Structure 1
Amino acid sequence: MKLVQQLRRLALAAVVGTMPMAAQADINVGVILSLTGPGASLGLPEQKAVQLWPASIAGHKLNVTVLNDATDVSQASRAASKLIAENNVDIIVGSSLTPPSLAITEVAARHSTPVISLGGGSAIVEPLEGHRTWAFKVSAPEKYAVALILDHMKQQKVGRVGAIAISTAYGEGYVQKLNELAPSYDIEVTGVERYNQTDQSVTAQVTRLAVGKPDAVLIISAGTPGALPQLELKKRGYKGLVYQTQGVANNDFLRVGGKDVEGAFIALSPLMVASQLDAGNPIREHAMDFIERYENAFSPDTAGIFAASAWDAMLILKHAAADAVSKAQPGTEAFRRALRDSLENSRDVTTSTAVYNFSSTDHNGVDERSQVMARIQDGKWIYVK
């Protein structure tokens, strides 16, 4: 009898040993980018960076679906709905710009789906209530860039500044912060003009700005449309200083602006001047690593802040997913909620552009290290120490 029981146990063990283990659920990520339209100069390099993402994170296969919102709010909203309904995504990364990111977040929050936005406007995560509690943002907030710009202006003896901003949440966020902070630097804002991404001329706006006789002009825009005001200033013979924000920090802007954007100052991500940073800068190593990966895969001198933001979104997701998979199975609402909570509790996540410390009151998580001052010289970004 004992022999029979022993044989049965051995037979059962053999059967169990040949049974396939329960498959781990894949992590499904939806990516929405502006691959056409005015935001394409941001979205296209972001798409390339997504191609460099790993095949798995946190021990789970990574399924990535990329959709184009064509720099259109309505298309962004539809893309988010499609990814949630048809692809059962655990998280959405995108969009490239602030307006479509806001549209995506509203849809995603209704389905308890976290979003990591690549857009620049703080309106994506502020005020941190309602649907915004499901949103996280990679790009540095306006306050650090504006403070850096105003401090540099003060050093350059600027007493009066005019601004021209793109008519989006990104532009408005910078304008609000400029008006808020300028008095503390004893700098007067002489006027603020606005224009649309698709405008072909800003002659009227620049003419009105000139009336205030500003010592410097701050251009607040994103992508190649940011060159338009500077080209007009050059055409009119403006002799003051010109400042830009990191929304234009790509090679397409330099190509479109050419020699007419030479000499402009710009507050941008340290990634754009990575090789010029001090060796002790914690971001430098990560920035150089990304640049090497990207340019080995594509071509030299092409890595930029927008591609890096898509890479950093993956690094942030990877960090949070390692915690979330221990709490719930991917593909479920419980996992999406766990992932949101893990993102919110992520600390000391160093990436190619910043060091992130998220919290229940801060879904951007960066500090002043996320912005440095540079100048356009000979078609390159030169670090201003």
Structure 2
Amino acid sequence: MKKTIVAALALVLLALPAVAQETIKLGAFFDLSGRAAFIGTPTKLVAEMVVDKINAEGGINGRKLELIIGDTEANPAKAASLAKKFIHKDKVVAIIGPTMTDTGMAVKAIANAGKTPILMTVGGDPVIMGEQFGPFDWVFKSPQRSRTAVERLLGYLRDKGLSRIALLSAADGFGKDGAGWIERLSASYGIEIVARESFGARDSDMTAQLTKVRAAAPQALVVWTIGPAGAIVAKNALQLGLALPLFQCHGLPDPKYIELAGAASEGNRMPATKLLVADQLPDADRQKPVIAEFIRLYRERGYDQQFPINTHSGYAWDAILLLANAIRQAGTEAEALRQAIENTRDYVGVSGIYNLNALDHNGLDVDSMVMVEVKNGRFVLAD
């Protein structure tokens, strides 16, 4: 009798649905506090949105995704601690995030040592560059490379006949990365940098740097930073009567920038993802239906009430779907998954069409970006 009961219980247990440990665990950390929380918080919301979408559609190969959320607090040491926790305690399959280049660099070596794929949502290139920046075998990123944004911007400047520029950049990892690419590539576009100034990412006045810029008589001003600093430069330039076309980087196309800079934002131009001008895309654009679905879900959740859609909004969507597609193909064994991500071809995302390889762990080209301009308080495609 006892053996019969045991056998019956075993059959019942086999018939039960998958239990919690069968979820696919993903670490996800962003700046939910600190100076980049305005990017990190909505990025977290989008990560949750896309995971809910995947799970509602049956998960991946019958398994649900589970996000383990962390706040990096814009602190590289905190990011490093969280990365170690994700890998060694939580035993995650992969990591999504962080938000900033500096925090990304703090966890790059940790992900490589832990042989855990990480799909970053940072702007700077060093996270997927080798040589002095260290190996990047396990590191991928969904936002365009700074180099890609620089090439889009320099090509536009050349086409507009603006060959003498002044460059202002933040003294953080992101600012240095963008400035470095401009310095390396500008000559090949026939562009001369006639003034070069930097500022602290949290500085509240850049008048001194702009005064030096004016003395150099450039034809255009290029600024490379994220956050309020970009708006401060725009306002300082207007206050000084600096009558120069102002170009910001791909980190600033955001309604918040227009709000902070006010009238000083009018006419400013910058490279951006197509998400920012979705209603102006031709119907033949392969990204258009993907972007439309993203916008629909984002608005259904009411996220746009607090965090209006901006150029950063789709990065977590793309990172998680790149990962999900790779898991469908290769499963969750670490090396097989890493190779599947690296071999991604023709994934049509919100931020572009991705084609990765062993040397390029981003996979987006210049055509993934458009130039936008602030006109009458909103972003439009630049002429």
User: Does the TM-score normalized on the shorter chain lie above 0.5?
Assistant: yes
Match of 1:278 in 2: 282
Task: Report the alpha carbon displacement of residue 173 of structure 1 after superposing the two structures with TM.
Answer: 2.1
Segment of structure 1 superposing worse, 263-272 or 76-85 = 76-85
Aligned pairs for 1:109-124 (under 5 A) are: 109-124=112-127
Please point out which of 186, 195, 198 is paired with 2:199. 195
SS of residue paired to 1:293: helix
Segment of structure 1 superposing worse, 58-67 or 343-352 = 58-67
Match of 1:93 in 2: 96
**Aligned-residue RMSD, C-alpha:** 2.2
Whole-Å separation in 1 of the counterparts to 2:72 and 2:220: 35
Match of 1:82 in 2: 85
Match of 1:237 in 2: 241
Task: Report the alpha carbon displacement of residue 64 of structure 1 after superposing the two structures with TM.
Answer: 0.4
Please point out which of 48, 63, 66 is paired with 2:66. 63
Verify the 8 A CA contact 2:151 2:366 in the aligned structure 1: no
> Relative to 1, partners in 2 of residues 1:60 and 1:44: Cα closer, same or farther, differing over 3 Å?
same
Segment of structure 1 superposing worse, 373-382 or 295-304 = 295-304
Match of 1:347 in 2: 345
Task: Report the alpha carbon displacement of residue 276 of structure 1 after superposing the two structures with TM.
Answer: 0.5
Residue 289 (str. 1) matches residue 293 (str. 2):
yes
Matched letter for residue 110 of structure 1: A
Task: Report the alpha carbon displacement of residue 177 of structure 1 after superposing the two structures with TM.
Answer: 1.8
Task: Report the alpha carbon displacement of residue 304 of structure 1 after superposing the two structures with TM.
Answer: 2.3
Whole-Å separation in 1 of the counterparts to 2:259 and 2:364: 30
Aligned pairs for 1:16-27 (under 5 A) are: 18-20=12-14, 23=18, 25-27=22-24
Task: Report the alpha carbon displacement of residue 190 of structure 1 after superposing the two structures with TM.
Answer: 0.7
> Relative to 1, partners in 2 of residues 1:374 and 1:88: Cα closer, same or farther, differing over 3 Å?
same
Matched letter for residue 64 of structure 1: L
Residue 312 (str. 1) matches residue 348 (str. 2):
no
SS of residue paired to 2:221: strand
Task: Report the alpha carbon displacement of residue 17 of structure 1 after superposing the two structures with TM.
Answer: 5.2
Residue 224 (str. 1) matches residue 221 (str. 2):
no
SS of residue paired to 2:14: coil
Whole-Å separation in 1 of the counterparts to 2:215 and 2:76: 35
Task: Report the alpha carbon displacement of residue 345 of structure 1 after superposing the two structures with TM.
Answer: 1.1
Q: Which runs of 5+ in 1 are unaligned?
A: 1-10
> Relative to 1, partners in 2 of residues 1:344 and 1:299: Cα closer, same or farther, differing over 3 Å?
closer
Verify the 8 A CA contact 1:48 1:307 in the aligned structure 2: no
Task: Report the alpha carbon displacement of residue 138 of structure 1 after superposing the two structures with TM.
Answer: 0.6
SS of residue paired to 1:20: helix
Match of 2:44 in 1: 47
Whole-Å separation in 2 of the counterparts to 1:130 and 1:245: 26
Matched letter for residue 320 of structure 1: A
Q: Which runs of 5+ in 2 are unaligned?
A: none
Aligned pairs for 1:350-361 (under 5 A) are: 350-361=348-359
Matched letter for residue 368 of structure 2: S
Verify the 8 A CA contact 1:41 1:224 in the aligned structure 2: no
Verify the 8 A CA contact 1:159 1:188 in the aligned structure 2: yes
Verify the 8 A CA contact 1:49 1:311 in the aligned structure 2: yes
Match of 1:184 in 2: 188
Verify the 8 A CA contact 2:48 2:67 in the aligned structure 1: no
TM-score (norm 1): 0.90
Residue 363 (str. 1) matches residue 361 (str. 2):
yes
Task: Report the alpha carbon displacement of residue 247 of structure 1 after superposing the two structures with TM.
Answer: 0.6
Whole-Å separation in 2 of the counterparts to 1:197 and 1:60: 42
Verify the 8 A CA contact 2:353 2:364 in the aligned structure 1: yes
Whole-Å separation in 1 of the counterparts to 2:373 and 2:310: 15
Residue 324 (str. 1) matches residue 321 (str. 2):
no
Matched letter for residue 72 of structure 1: N
